[in-house]
Amino acid sequence: MDRIVVRGGRRLTGEVTLSGSKNSTLALMAAALLTDDEVVLRNVPRVRDVDGLLAIFEALGAKAGWDPQDSHAVRINASTVCRYEAPYDLVRKMRASFMVLGPLVTRFGQARVSEPGGCAIGVRPIDQHLKGIEALGGKTHLDHGYVEVSGAPLVGVNFSFDITTVNGTQNVMMAATLAKGETVLENAAREPEVVELVEVLRKMGADIEGEGTARIVIRGVERLHGVEHCVAGDRIEAGTLLCAAAVTHGDVWIHGASAETMGATLEKLREIGVEITVQGDSIRARVPNGLHGTHVTTAPYPGFATDMQAQIMALLLVAEGSSVVTEKVFENRFMHVPELQRLGADITLDGRSAHLRGGAKLMGAPVMATDLRASAGLLVAALAAEGETTVHRVYHIDRGYERIEEKLKSLGADIRREG
């Protein structure tokens, strides 16, 4: 069982290049099921979640794998898909696999996908995915923990999500690309990962408009063709590395970022006292005059990303004054709090809000990673803690960050992987 050991107190300085977006990659891989042609995705992060989805493609009979000529590219050809079941033991390990549902139903007229179940951060229901697929004419049936859907061709419809859901928007939108007629999705998610998916679907021949707004219009087409696409830099990894730089009062440039998709994060960092400089796809973080507390509330894009909540909390622990962090997207996303308290953090939980007393002198200690972004928050705090922190169960962090300890080490952190 791998663990990461950090000796805090080092200022991070220098430059680092981001990996591609894990969350964009997963949706783009699912889109490959919509065509018989080969789909090539480049700048794909070597993370466990991508391997998890590749395993699902194997179960479906698709040809899918890492490109032998490019270690950060995956090639998928769904022309050989001959099974339509995504099994429980694979879906439970990588719940975003549920996004194969829409493509399978609209392309093959059938799908049997295990309900993904909950995870550490919440129940993670899929009701909106199913409502959207049913609105398109899909006949859903729950069978012993599996969602079975039949009914092709799907038929375009006006559908409004009851709650803004990123993967729900992506799943239903992909199903609509091959449906008969026009589909209008209201209260659609506006995340950059939805926008990137639309850009790629359009390159594949889909007829879609409205991405980045709450109203997306999809006009069904007969077929989609293959595509080669370079995945955008990971905006959450970018935010995580900026927090790591700031918590050490460092001076770091990150390359491969798109600042325009990080508005809320950059604005919050500036509010805390981080000097942010943007030059093209590079962003610099330094701390000229100290850090001070503030209030943060997570929200769907363009609000402050819930995936950045643990990391900004860790930064606020060393800022002067008190702060309040409110998690409005997921119901159980404070699993990092008891672990941060082991480092000496003064945090009081009150429902969906965490009240922080800043200026803490954090002391290194053994801590346990519980989920992907919680472990990122623990690493950020460990960089500022006096002495040694050991983060256990780092398989959580390997789901969404490629070689994070090497990136931090290249910036001067005293960090190593053991086990």
Q: Which residues are catalytic?
A: 119
Question: If you ran DSSP here, which 8-state letter would residue 348 be given?
Answer: E
**CA atoms 51, 55, 56, 60: torsion sign:** positive
Which strands sit side by side in the sheet containing 158-160, from one edge to the other? 158-160, 182-186, 215-219, 207-209
20 contributes a contact to ligand EPZ by CB under 6 A: no
What distances in angstroms separate CA 54 from CA 24, 31, 356, one per listed residue? 15, 13, 41
| Shortest Cβ 107–ligand EPZ spacing (Å) | 21
Q: Which secondary-structure segment (H or E) carries 382?
A: helix 372-384
128 contributes a contact to ligand EPZ by CB under 6 A: yes
44 contributes a contact to ligand EPZ by CB under 6 A: no
Cα 247 from Cα 72, distance rounded (Å): 30
388-392 and 70-77 as β-strands: parallel, antiparallel, unpaired? unpaired
Residue from the set 44, 166, 379, 408 that interacts with ligand EPZ by CB under 6 A: 166
Residue from the set 139, 145, 163, 230 that interacts with ligand EPZ by CB under 6 A: 163
96 contributes a contact to ligand EPZ by CB under 6 A: yes
10 contributes a contact to ligand EPZ by CB under 6 A: no
List the beta bridge partners of residue 357: 322, 346
Cα 272 from Cα 61, distance rounded (Å): 50
Nearest residue to 195 via CA among 391, 334, 28: 28
| Shortest Cβ 398–ligand EPZ spacing (Å) | 13
Cα 53 from Cα 86, distance rounded (Å): 10
Q: How many Cα atoms are found within 13 Å in the side-chain-facing hemisphere of 232?
A: 24
| Shortest Cβ 385–ligand EPZ spacing (Å) | 23
| Shortest Cβ 372–ligand EPZ spacing (Å) | 5
127 contributes a contact to ligand EPZ by CB under 6 A: yes
CA–CA–CA angle 326, 293, 273 (5° rounding): 120
375 contributes a contact to ligand EPZ by CB under 6 A: no
122 contributes a contact to ligand EPZ by CB under 6 A: yes
Residue from the set 63, 83, 124, 286 that interacts with ligand EPZ by CB under 6 A: 124
Residue from the set 19, 21, 43, 167 that interacts with ligand EPZ by CB under 6 A: 167
372 contributes a contact to ligand EPZ by CB under 6 A: yes
336 contributes a contact to ligand EPZ by CB under 6 A: no
| Shortest Cβ 129–ligand EPZ spacing (Å) | 5
360 contributes a contact to ligand EPZ by CB under 6 A: no
Cα 130 from Cα 116, distance rounded (Å): 13
328 contributes a contact to ligand EPZ by CB under 6 A: no
346-350 and 353-357 as β-strands: parallel, antiparallel, unpaired? antiparallel
400 contributes a contact to ligand EPZ by CB under 6 A: yes
DSSP per residue, 247-301: HTT-EEEEES--GGG-HHHHHHHHHHT-EEEEETTEEEEE-SS--B--EEEB-ST
The residue (of 30 and 81) whose beta carbon lies closer to ligand EPZ is 30
329 contributes a contact to ligand EPZ by CB under 6 A: yes
| Contact stretch for ligand EPZ (CB under 6 A) within 51-59, 137-145, 160-168, 211-219 | 160-168
Tokens for 122, please give them. Answer: 């919440």
| Contact stretch for ligand EPZ (CB under 6 A) within 136-144, 166-174, 263-271, 272-280 | 166-174
| Contact stretch for ligand EPZ (CB under 6 A) within 40-48, 126-134, 176-184, 247-255 | 126-134
| Shortest Cβ 123–ligand EPZ spacing (Å) | 6
Cα 118 from Cα 126, distance rounded (Å): 10
| Shortest Cβ 360–ligand EPZ spacing (Å) | 25
User: Site residues (CB under 6 A) for ligand EPZ?
Assistant: 23, 26, 96, 122, 124-129, 163, 165-168, 193, 306-307, 329-330, 372-373, 400
